[in-house]
Amino acid sequence: MKQQRIDAGPAGPVPWYDPRVRSLFFQAIAIALVFWGGWVLVDNTLSNMESRGISTGFGFLNKTAGFGIIMNLVPYDATMSYGRTFWVGLTNTLLVSAMGVVTATILGFIIGVARLSSNWLVARMALVYIEVIRNIPLLLQIFFWYFAVLRNLPSPRQSLDVGGILFLNNRGLYLPGPMPQEGFGIVWGGILLAIAAVVGIRIRARKRQLATGQIFPAFRVGLAILVFVPVVSFLVAGRPLEWDLPVLRGFNFGGGITIIPELAALWIALSLYTASFIAEIVRSGILSVSKGQTEASRALGLPNGLTLRLVVIPQAMRVIIPPLTSQYLNLVKNSSLATAIGYPDLVAVFMGTTLNQTGQAVEVVAITMAVYLTISLLISLFMNIYNRAVAIKER
Amino acid sequence: MRKMRSIALGVALVAGTFTASSVMAATTLKNVKQKGHLQCGVTTGLPGFSQPDEKGNWTGIDVDTCRAVAAAIFGDAGAVEFTPLTAKERFTALQSGEIDMLSRNTTWTLTRDASLGLNFAGVNYYDGQGFLINKGIGVDDATQLDGATICIQAGTTTELNLSDYFRAKGMKFKPIVFDTSEQTVQGFAAGRCDVLTSDRSQLAALRSKLSDPNSAKILPNTISKEPLGPVVRQGDDQWFNIVKWVLFTQINAEELGVTSANADDMLKSDNPGIQRLLGTDGDMGAKLGLPADFGHKVVKLVGNYGEMYDRNVGPDTPLALDRGINALWTEGGIMYAPPVR
C-alpha cells in the first residue's frame, strides 16, 4: 500500500529510478549480448570457413558414402548416403545403450541387495565386485573383454558347435535367424490377443482385491495365457516359421543372426561397470528407508520377500531414481568408447569415417553433440516422469 | 578419448575462426619465424614414415620432409616440433591452425584437395593399397577374398578403396574399423579378421609387429593409387610454394648428384643447375621468401630425396622397400621435379 502511494505521488519517480524498469533494461541488454555473441560466432565461423575454401552446409548428407559398415540395424550398403550412415551409427548406439541399461539395472539391483545380505559371504562378494569394477577405468575393461576374451575363442573353422544350431568363434556368436512365412500374421494376432487378455485380467484382479480382499493369482494365469495362446495360433496357422541356420561358407559363417564380438565386449563392459555404481545407489536407497518401516511390516505379518517388494523398495525408489538417471546418462555417453574396439556406433561411424571422408568437422561434430544431448534429455525426461510417479505425494 | 580429442579440435576450429581475421592477415612463414620452430603434424607411430624412438626423437620419411622445411627456413633441421595425429584428426588440426604443415602419410585425392581448404604440396612417396593375410588360410590372390572379414584403420582412403574394389568384383566383406594402426594389428593378431588392408609400405611395417611375422604374407595385388605427400592450408601461396619447392629441391639434388656428404664441395661446382640449387647463383631463395642458401641447407642437413628414402624405408632398413616407382625418372621411376630456374 505504501509503495503504491509513492508511485501515485504527484512527483512520480523518473523511469530510470524505477527498479522494475531498470531490471528489465539490464536483462534485455544481457539477452541481446548473448544473442549477439552467438550470431558473431556462427557468422564468423561460416565466413572464415568460406574464405579458407572449406566446404560448408549439410549437402554432404545426400552424397554416396561408399564405405562398408559391419553391423547395421537399418538397411545399409556402400552405395547409400552419408545421411544413412548417421542412422546406422545412431541405431547401433541406441542398441548397445538399451541393452546396457537393462542388464546394468538388473545386475545392479541384485548386487545392491546382495551387498546388504545377512549372509557374510554374499555381502563380501558383492563388496569385492563393486570395489574392483568401479575402480578400473572403463576403457581398460572394454579392452579386456575385447582382446583378452577374444584371443581365447577358436577360429571359425574350429568353432564351438552347439547341436549344429549355435556356433561360437572369434568372429562372433552365430544364431539361427527366424524367417516368418506366409500366415505368420495369425501368430502375431495371437500374441496381441494374449497381451490384451493379460492386461485385462490384471486390472480385474486388482479391482476384485480392492473390493473383496480376495487375491486372484493373476501372474500365474497370465503366464499360462501368454504361452498357450501364441502356441495354439502357431499350430493352427500351420507352423509358418522357418529357421535360417548359420553355415560355414569359405571364410566365415553365413546366414542366421550374428552377434559380433565388438557388441558383446562393449555390452558386457558397460553393464558390469555401470552395475557397480547402480548397486551402491540401490544400497543407499534401501538403507534410507527407516528400520521402523520394516518392523511395522513384519508386525503386520508380511514375509521377507513381500516386505522388500511392497514396503522397502517403493520407498527406496524415491532415493534411487535421481542418481540412477545420471548412471543411465553416463552409460549412453560411455558407449561412445566403442570406437576404440571398432564397434560401429555413432561416434565411430559418423564422427569417425564420415567426418574424415567429407572433412566437414563443424557440421558433423555439431550433429553428433546434438544427438547425444537429445538422447540424454529424453532419458532425463522419462526418468523425471517416473520419479514424479513414485515420489511422495502430499495429500 | 578420441571423441574428446575430435570435439576439442572442432571447438578449436570454431574458436580459431572466431578470432581468425588477424591470424589470416599474418602469413604462415611469418608465424613460423616468430615461433622459432615449425609445427608439423605426423602419425602416432608408423615405422619408416614417422615414428618416435625410445628417446622421443622422431624419424621417418615424413619427418624428414618436415625437417627439410625447417632447414630451409631456419638453417636448422631440429627446429621442428611434432604433433602426433590419428587419421581422423589430421585435417581438422591443419585447418584450425594447430599445425603449420601436415606430413602424415596422406593420400592426395580430389576431394581432399578441393573441399577441405587444403593444398597438397607434392608427393614424397608413391604407394598403393594391398592386403596382409594369414598364410594358413591358403589364399594367394585378392580375388579369392569373397566373404572375408577385414581390419582397417578409420578415416583413411583405404576404407573407400576396399569398398570399391569388392563392389567392382561382386564380392562381399565385413569391415572392422579401428582407430589406430596399433589396434588394427592387434585385431589382426587376435584373429578377429582374416585380412588386414593398408598401403603396401605400411603392410611390411605392420607385419614386422606381429609376434611371428612369418605367419602372414602380403598378397601380390595392388588395388589403388596412393600418392602420399605433405599438405598445407589453402590461401597462403607463399607457404604452399615453400613446402613444394623444398621437396623439389631434394629430388633435384638427387638428380644432380648433390648429397649431404658432398654439399659443401658442390658449392664450388661450375654446373649452373647446381649453382642455382645451392644458392651460389641467382636469387631463388628470395623469390620464395627464404635465405639464398636454403637449398644448400636442406641438402646438407637432411639430404637429397634418395638419401631420405634409403635412410628410412630403403632396402637396408627393417621395411626393406625397393625404390620401385619411387626411383628418379631417369632411373625408371616416376619421381620427377620441375627445374630450379
How far does the CA of residue A265 sit from the closest CA of chain B (Å)? 13
Per-residue pLDDT tens over the stretch A319-377: 999 999 999 999 999 999 998 888 999 998 998 888 888 878 888 999 999 999 999 99
How far does the CA of residue A235 sit from the closest CA of chain B (Å)? 38
Asked whether this chain's domains B2-126+228-331 and B129-224 adopt the same fold, the reply is: yes
- The grid coordinates of residue B183 equal 589396434
Q: What are the extents of the domains in chain B?
A: 2-126+228-331, 129-224
State which residues form the domain around A199: 177-244
Helix, strand, or coil (residue A169): strand
| Interface membership of A48 toward B (CB under 8 Å) | yes
**Statement to judge: residues A182 and A160 lie in one domain:** no
**Statement to judge: residues A166 and A268 lie in one domain:** yes
Q: What pLDDT shows up at residue A172?
A: 84
Number of domains into which chain A is organized: 3
**Statement to judge: residues A165 and A280 lie in one domain:** yes
Q: Report how far residue A53's alpha carbon sits from residue B130's, in angstroms, rounded to the nearest whole number.
A: 33
Looking at the DSSP bridge assignments, the partners of residue A15 are none
Nearest to A49 among B17, B160, B177 (CB): B17
Burial class (CB in 10 A: 0-12, 13-18, 19+), B310: middle
A-chain residues within 8 Å CB-CB of B180? none
The domain made up of B129-224 has a fold known as D-Maltodextrin-Binding Protein; domain 2 (3.40.190)
Question: Would you say residue A73 lies in a domain?
Answer: no
**Statement to judge: residues A202 and A101 lie in one domain:** no
Q: Report how far residue B176's alpha carbon sits from residue B168's, in angstroms, rounded to the nearest whole number.
A: 20
B-chain residues within 8 Å CB-CB of A342? 151, 176-179, 183, 187
**Statement to judge: residues A44 and A91 lie in one domain:** no
**Statement to judge: residues A362 and A312 lie in one domain:** yes
Beta strands in B96-239 (DSSP E): 101-102, 118-120, 125-127, 129-134, 148-153, 173-178, 195-199, 216-218, 226-228, 231-233
Per-residue pLDDT tens over the stretch A273-326: 999 999 999 999 999 999 999 999 999 999 888 888 889 988 999 899 999 999
**Statement to judge: residues A296 and A355 lie in one domain:** yes
Q: What pLDDT shows up at residue A97?
A: 95
First to last CA, chain A: 35
Q: Report how far residue A61's alpha carbon sits from residue A137's, in angstroms, rounded to the nearest whole number.
A: 35
Q: Report how far residue A43's alpha carbon sits from residue A36's, in angstroms, rounded to the nearest whole number.
A: 10
Last residue of one domain, picked from the residues A219, A244, A269: A244
The label of the residue with cell 644458392 reads: B279
Pairing of strands A257-259, A172-175: antiparallel
Is the domain defined by B2-126+228-331 classed in CATH 3.20.20.60?
A: no
Burial B156-186 (b: 16+ CB within 10 A, else e): bbbbbbbbebbbeeeebbbbbbbbbbebbbb
- How many C-alpha atoms does A247 have within 13 Å on its Cβ side? 5
CB contact under 8 A, B88 and A359: no
Q: What pLDDT shows up at residue A217?
A: 81
Per-residue pLDDT tens over the stretch B280-307: 988 999 999 999 999 999 999 999 999 9
| Interface membership of A85 toward B (CB under 8 Å) | no
> Is the ipTM beyond the 0.85 threshold?
no
Task: Give one DSSP letter per residue of B308-335, joined into a string.
Answer: HHHHHTSTTSTT----GGGSBGGGTS-B
CB B231 within 8 A of CB B271: no
CB contact under 8 A, A251 and B186: no
- The grid coordinates of residue B214 equal 612369418
Shortest CA distance to B70 belongs to which of B335, B290, B322, B318? Answer: B290
Shortest CA distance to B226 belongs to which of B108, B60, B49? Answer: B108
Burial class (CB in 10 A: 0-12, 13-18, 19+), B12: middle
CB contact under 8 A, B179 and A362: no
**Statement to judge: residues A236 and A385 lie in one domain:** no
Give the best-scoring range by mean pLDDT among B46-50, B66-70, B189-193. B66-70
How far does the CA of residue B246 sit from the closest CA of chain A (Å)? 24
Looking at the DSSP bridge assignments, the partners of residue A393 are none
Burial class (CB in 10 A: 0-12, 13-18, 19+), B110: exposed
Question: Would you say residue A72 lies in a domain?
Answer: no
Q: Report how far residue B144's alpha carbon sits from residue B194's, in angstroms, rounded to the nearest whole number.
A: 12
Q: What pLDDT shows up at residue A225?
A: 87
Q: What pLDDT shows up at residue B21?
A: 40
| Interface membership of A148 toward B (CB under 8 Å) | no
CB contact under 8 A, B13 and A41: no
Give the best-scoring range by mean pLDDT among A7-21, A165-179, B189-203, B220-234. B220-234
Weakly modelled stretches of chain A, pLDDT under 70: 1-13, 395
Q: Which of A349-358, B221-230, B303-312 has the lowest mean pLDDT?
A: A349-358
| pLDDT value at B23 more than 60 | no
**Statement to judge: residues A229 and A340 lie in one domain:** no
Q: What pLDDT shows up at residue B10?
A: 52
Q: What's the average model confidence in pLDDT over B123-141? A: 91
Q: What pLDDT shows up at residue B296?
A: 96
Nearest to A68 among B17, B117, B173 (CB): B173
Shortest CA distance to A257 belongs to which of A166, A149, A164, A349? Answer: A166
Q: What's the average model confidence in pLDDT over B58-87? A: 94
Indicate which CATH number applies to the domain containing A382.
1.10.3720.10
CB A56 within 8 A of CB A362: yes
**Statement to judge: residues A311 and A181 lie in one domain:** no
Pairing of strands A160-162, A166-169: antiparallel
**Statement to judge: residues A293 and A307 lie in one domain:** yes
* Distances in whole angstroms, Cα of residue B66 to Cα of each of B40, B112, B121: 6, 20, 12
Burial class (CB in 10 A: 0-12, 13-18, 19+), B324: middle
Kindly indicate the confidence band of residue B18, based on its pLDDT and cuts at 50, 70 and 90. Answer: very low
Q: Which of A40-54, B22-36, B235-249 has the lowest mean pLDDT?
A: B22-36
pTM, entire model: 0.78
Kindly indicate the confidence band of residue B12, based on its pLDDT and cuts at 50, 70 and 90. Answer: low
- How many C-alpha atoms does B96 have within 13 Å on its Cβ side? 22
Angle A52-A58-A64 from CA coordinates, rounded to 5°: 105
Question: Would you say residue A33 lies in a domain?
Answer: yes
Question: Would you say residue A56 lies in a domain?
Answer: no
Nearest to B233 among A52, A254, A361 (CB): A52
* Distances in whole angstroms, Cα of residue A122 to Cα of each of A129, A278, A361: 11, 17, 50
Kindly indicate the confidence band of residue B8, based on its pLDDT and cuts at 50, 70 and 90. Answer: low
**Statement to judge: residues A214 and A302 lie in one domain:** no
Q: What pLDDT shows up at residue A376?
A: 93
Q: Report how far residue B201's alpha carbon sits from residue A190's, in angstroms, rounded to the nearest whole number.
A: 61
| Interface membership of A140 toward B (CB under 8 Å) | no
Nearest to A55 among B17, B92, B115 (CB): B115
A 10 A CB-CB count for A355 gives 28
How far does the CA of residue A27 sit from the closest CA of chain B (Å)? 25
Question: Would you say residue A252 lies in a domain?
Answer: no
Kindly indicate the confidence band of residue B88, based on its pLDDT and cuts at 50, 70 and 90. Answer: confident
Q: Report how far residue B244's alpha carbon sits from residue B223's, in angstroms, rounded to the nearest whole number.
A: 28
CB B284 within 8 A of CB B241: no
| Interface membership of A78 toward B (CB under 8 Å) | yes
